[in-house]
Amino acid sequence: MGSNKFYDFLTEKPHDFLIVGLGASAGGVQALREFFAHVPEDSRMAYVVILHLSPDHDSQLAEVLQAVTTIPVAQVREKVEIKPDHIYVVPPNQHLIIEEGFIAPSVNLHLEERRAPVDIFFRNLADSHGPRAVSVILSGTGANGSMGLKRVKERGGAAYVQNPREAEFNEMPRNAIATELIDDVLPVAEIPARIVAYRDSLGTVEIALVAEQRPEQHQQALREIFAQLRLRTGHDFSNYKRATLLRRIERRINVRDLPDLPSYAAFLQQNIEESQALLKDLLISVTNFFRDKKPFAALEQDILPVIFQDKRSEDEIRIWVAGCATGKKLIRWPCWWRKEP
């Protein structure tokens, strides 16, 4: 995936149907039954179920879910086009790959594929569909799905979790909540309606990128939002990338199902926890290697050769790397050193 596409996700708005990925393990069958019993048959969204259990438990999952819904349910046995108002179930001992409007099974060959199929699918879904991705974590053990939902949020999607108090096994929900990136924690029966409300709100609010094109009430609302962020979090976003900043605020308005920017400013004023939620959304980093190609190309082609010029094998070079975020900036440098004489 090209570097520009990662940044496009931060400002892109979904123009097609949403794809909802659901991850669960122990206790997940009953949670999934409850979820799909409350999904309207015309939700205009596609659903992909990743149930991380032994083959003996999940091989009949499609039939079990079909018993509670009129939406077509199918186990993915071959590459098929993904369509709205359909439910797709992972086969035993396999994981699912989604790309260019199709979904296909793939045999588990590596340890991660066997241990973390929810994470793998969420990352794949986020990378392929960006803001059209929705992740849902239900009952289960371990932390499967927590890393994947971070990728969904990075790419502008949404994340929901079953209330741990309701879940038969609460480790997966609790680990997902611990990321502090979840948009809402709900009883499983309420999650479908919340996703529908989120879908309906998409595209209803648009904040003009150019300040002169915004109504004065929008300008005032933005000033109030930035003031609340500074007051409650200590962060000043006045020099933040404007397009990304505004799209992230729009996303919070959608998640909270509010009608406009002034309403969100008032909501932020009245709900202290929303300041932290907005801050988390604004500070999510896009964690891929070498995403800014031009600066790194200049370093490699123009700067590194000068640094290494006339250096002998016994000479020492020290590099200080600031602002490592998730560590990928730091890891990049040894990749270059190995290429230099």
pLDDT of residue 330: 54
What is residue 87's three-state secondary structure? strand
Q: Looking at this protein, which amino acid is placed at residue 269?
A: Q
Instruction: Name the nearest CA neighbour of 284 among 172, 151, 133.
Output: 151
My answer on whether 164 and 82 are in the same domain is yes
pLDDT of residue 307: 80
Determine, yes or no, domain membership for 206.
Answer: no
pLDDT (average), residues 168-179: 96
My answer on whether 121 and 227 are in the same domain is no
Determine, yes or no, domain membership for 118.
Answer: yes
What total number of domains does the chain contain? 3
Q: Average pLDDT of the chain?
A: 85
Tens digit of each residue's pLDDT (9 = 90 or more) over 281-335: 888 765 554 445 677 677 777 887 888 788 887 788 777 766 555 555 555 555 5
What is d(CA 186, CA 91) in angstroms, rounded to the nearest whole number?
A: 28
The mean-pLDDT minimum among 76-90, 179-193, 273-287 falls in: 273-287
Determine, yes or no, domain membership for 288.
Answer: no
My answer on whether 175 and 243 are in the same domain is no
CATH code of 262's domain: 1.10.155
pLDDT of residue 3: 43
In this structure, the strands spanning 80-81 and 102-107 are antiparallel
What is d(CA 107, CA 117) in angstroms, rounded to the nearest whole number?
A: 11
Confidence class for position 153, pLDDT limits 50, 70, 90: very high
pLDDT (average), residues 25-31: 94
My answer on whether 68 and 195 are in the same domain is yes
Instruction: Name the nearest CA neighbour of 183 among 273, 285, 48.
Output: 273
Name the domain boundary from 201, 234, 250.
201
pLDDT of residue 301: 79
Determine, yes or no, domain membership for 143.
Answer: yes
pLDDT of residue 4: 47
pLDDT (average), residues 84-112: 85
pTM strictly above 0.85 = no
Given a cut of 50, whether residue 241 has pLDDT beyond it is: yes
My answer on whether 317 and 241 are in the same domain is no
Name the domain boundary from 241, 261, 283.
283
Phi, psi of 82 (to 5 degrees): -90, 130
Given a cut of 90, whether residue 158 has pLDDT beyond it is: yes
What is d(CA 122, CA 150) in angstroms, rounded to the nearest whole number?
A: 9
Confidence class for position 95, pLDDT limits 50, 70, 90: confident
My answer on whether 245 and 309 are in the same domain is no
CATH code of 65's domain: 3.40.50.180
Q: Report which DSSP code applies to 91.
A: P
My answer on whether 321 and 263 are in the same domain is no
Give the domain range for residue 322. 293-337
Confidence class for position 60, pLDDT limits 50, 70, 90: confident
Tens digit of each residue's pLDDT (9 = 90 or more) over 120-148: 999 999 999 999 999 999 999 999 999 99
My answer on whether 136 and 158 are in the same domain is yes
Torsion of CA 178, 145, 205, 240, to 10 degrees: 60
